[in-house]
Structure formats: structure tokens, C-alpha cells
Structure 1
Amino acid sequence: MTDTTLSAEDVDSTPKLGRKRDHSRDPEILDAALEVLAEKGYERMTVDMVAARARAGKATLYRRWPSKAELVIDAVACMKNAHPVDLPDTGTLRGDLVANIKTPAVKDGERKLRIMAGMVSLMSESPEFADAARAVIVEPRAAALRTLILRAIDRGEVSPDVDVPLLAQIIPSMTAYQTLMLGRAVDRQYIITLVDEILLPALGLASGEETTATARS
């Protein structure tokens, strides 16, 4: 269990009567917490590191978040997610999948994986937090893939007999392995390769290369 006891110098106990707390910098501080978490992991992360990254006073952080755990939980809870309405609709599953691979989103997904890896110890202590973290970091990517596959089923492009929840985990699982286990960056071409060589064949569709060749002939 991580010791979150604060020393006297960590807390500014001087009353601030009649003074409202300024929360305008909260997003900047929370983003700094996520950056440090992704780089250092929860155990090695300190509030001092976050304060330095955000260029904020340590006492300011402790007044807002009395413990490191509370800071991390708040930071994760405030992470933004893409909504299904933002998903492309090109008329084909491969077109949708490829159009959905945007470089900023790929980088953000890789960052989220590193953040989640950094929270392993905290997640093991709190199943509720683990569920919340998965809902913010892992589930949106799988949900987007489920939406695109179900749309393809509705179009008659994919058989309704496929295991949608299972197949929607292929790309998130393999990008996680690439990032966390192999320590390699995930780029757009890598994900396109997963789409063409693994996901589409698993769905009973021709690979991207075969589809392109058919369209040209």
C-alpha cells in the first residue's frame, strides 16, 4: 500500500478566509498528472513531479487533491473519449476502419495504454477504479470497432454469425501488446496491416490487398 501521509511542509494549513479556490488550472494539472503517470508509473510518480510539470505549487495540488491516488483517479475520470457519432461512414467496412485511423488518435491511444500500464498497482487495490479506468481507456476503442462491424452486418457485408465482441478486441489487444510488451510505437500503417491481414479475414472478408486488386480488375 502506498503511503500517502503528508509532511508538514507538504500542506499549507494557513486559512484562506474569504478566498475562493481557483480551479481554472485543473485541466492543465490533471493533464500533467497523466503525462507523469505514463512516463513513471504510479509507484514512482510523485506530486512534486506533477507540480513541476504543471508549474504549480505543491501545496496548491494537495489542497485540491489530498493524496496522489485522488489526483490520479480524478485525472483518469476527466479523460476525453471519442463518441460513436464521430465514426466515419464510407460505405464499406474497410473504408470505415481505415478512415478511423487518424494519427492524433493513434498517438492518444498509445498514451492511454501507457497510462493504464502505469496504474496497475492502484487498479489492483481498487476493483472499482479498475473498472472505471477500463471504461475510459479500453472500452471506447472496442466500442468503436463493434459499431463499425455491426454497421457492416446491417449492410449485409459481414455475416451476422460472427462473434462481434471477440473480434472487436483484436486490434486493441495487438496494439496493447506492441506498445506495452514489445515497447514499439504503433503507427497508422501498423493498424492498417492488422485490419487487412487479421481483422478482415477473421470477418470472412478479403484482405485489403485483394480488395484493391479486385477493384482494379
Structure 2
Amino acid sequence: MAERRRGAALEKALLDAAWQELTEGGYARFTMDAVVKRAGTSPPVLYRRWPDRDALVRATIIHVARENILDVPDTGSLRGDVLTLLREINATRFQLVVVMNAHLAGYRQETGADPGDLFDPTVTGRKEAVDALFARAVDRGEIHPERLTERIKTLPFDLLRHEFLTTFAPAPDHVLEEIVDTIFLPLVR
């Protein structure tokens, strides 16, 4: 007899099952029943936590985003930190980014919600991590803090995601360097 899952272990199992359903079938084929079956549980167990498909998708994306936060590098320079982080995302998160964006197109069509809201850095914990990287650069005198708008802080990562979604491949290193050196750094210095 299998050991009964409870609390955080049960919630993780449910969210992992939901993620597998979402990545295999996309939002259009995503159902609460399929998640129940995959997780080997009962509908009341799932519905006690998430009342509907939309709530479960939101919780699943936040869960996956939190599990996939990268350590923020501290190379001693803003250029080194941002380039190191872009290289790590490029090497380890390409498939995750493409799958999430491709499968969430149906989510946007059906709900009208912006999938970007699901990746809200304040919810996933990414904001604090990236803010620490920029705070160090300000402390070192490398950048002007008044130039650090939220849009500019996310720009290198947005451009990398754009590269993924337009080429369907990880970006060559020279593209990462161009994002940092030609586009991003001149905006903050």
C-alpha cells in the first residue's frame, strides 16, 4: 500500500501532475480530471485547493517558476552578472521558456489574461533576486539608479525570451553579448 501524501508533499505532487498535463497537452486539453488521474488522487483533494482550472494553472505556473529560480551570480561587475545569468538561462531554461509560452497561448485566448501575469517576479521570487544584482551594481557605482526602471531591469531577459521564441533555439553567445553590451548597458550607464 502506498503511503498517503499530505500537506506540502501532496500539493507538490498535484502541481507536478498539473505541470505534466499542461506541457503534454497544452491549456486547451488541460482538465482537472486529467490532473486527478495523473496524481492518483480524488477530485475533492484537488478542488479543496483550487476551485477551477484557471486557479490550478496559475498555481502550477507559479510553482514551476519558483522551482526554476537560478542563483544570481556575483562576478564583481554588472556586465558579468547579467551575462552569466543570461548564459545560464540560455543553457538550462530554453525548453521551459518555449514550452510555457507555446502552451499558454490557449490560456490567453480562453481567459483573456496575460500569461506574463503568471510569471510576475514579485510572486515567483525572481524580483528580489534580480533586484539584488542591480543593487550591487549601484553600490559599485556602475549604473545610475534613476535609470533602472522595471522595464529596463527585465529588458535583457525579455530579449532572450524573444530570441527563443523567434528562433526556436538557444541563442548563440555573440547574441547574448550583444544584448548586454549593445542594448542593455548603454541604457543604464
Alignment TM class, shorter chain as reference = 0.5 to 0.7
Q: Is 2:94 the counterpart of 1:94?
A: no
2:43 corresponds, among 48, 51, 62, to: 62
Q: Measured at CA, do residues 148 and 110 of structure 1 come closer, stay the same or move farther in structure 2, by a change above 3 Å?
A: farther
Which structure is richer in relative contact order (CA contacts within 8 A, separation 6 or more)? 2
Q: Measured at CA, do residues 151 and 81 of structure 1 come closer, stay the same or move farther in structure 2, by a change above 3 Å?
A: farther
| Contact in 2 for aligned 1:89/1:96 (Cα 8 Å) | yes
Residue correspondences, number = 178
Q: Measured at CA, do residues 35 and 195 of structure 1 come closer, stay the same or move farther in structure 2, by a change above 3 Å?
A: farther
1:156 Cα offset (Å): 1.3
Q: Measured at CA, do residues 109 and 191 of structure 1 come closer, stay the same or move farther in structure 2, by a change above 3 Å?
A: same
2:179 corresponds, among 186, 191, 194, to: 194
1:154 Cα offset (Å): 2.0
TM-score by length of 2: 0.65
Q: Distance in 1 between matches of 2:181 and 2:124?
A: 22
1:177 corresponds, among 138, 150, 162, to: 162
**Residue in structure 2 matched with residue 43 of structure 1 by the alignment:** 28
1:137 Cα offset (Å): 9.0
Q: Distance in 2 between matches of 1:136 and 1:82?
A: 12
**Residue in structure 2 matched with residue 214 of structure 1 by the alignment:** none
**Residue in structure 2 matched with residue 12 of structure 1 by the alignment:** none
| Contact in 2 for aligned 1:142/1:169 (Cα 8 Å) | no
Identify, as 1 or 2, the structure richer in helix: 2
- Identify unmatched segments of 5+ residues in structure 1: 1-19, 205-217
Identical residues among aligned pairs (%): 26
1:106 Cα offset (Å): 5.0
* CA deviation vs aligned residue, 1:22-53 (integer Å, no higher than 9, x gap): 3445424422322432343211224565567x
Q: Distance in 1 between matches of 2:115 and 2:133?
A: 26
Task: Write out aligned runs for 1:76-115 (5 A).
Answer: 76-79=61-64, 80=66, 86-101=71-86, 103=88, 107-108=92-93, 110-112=95-97, 114-115=99-100
| Contact in 2 for aligned 1:170/1:199 (Cα 8 Å) | yes
TM-score by length of 1: 0.59
* CA deviation vs aligned residue, 1:87-144 (integer Å, no higher than 9, x gap): 22222111222333454675336515632553455467386x9686232599755654
1:175 Cα offset (Å): 2.4
Q: Is 2:31 the counterpart of 1:22?
A: no
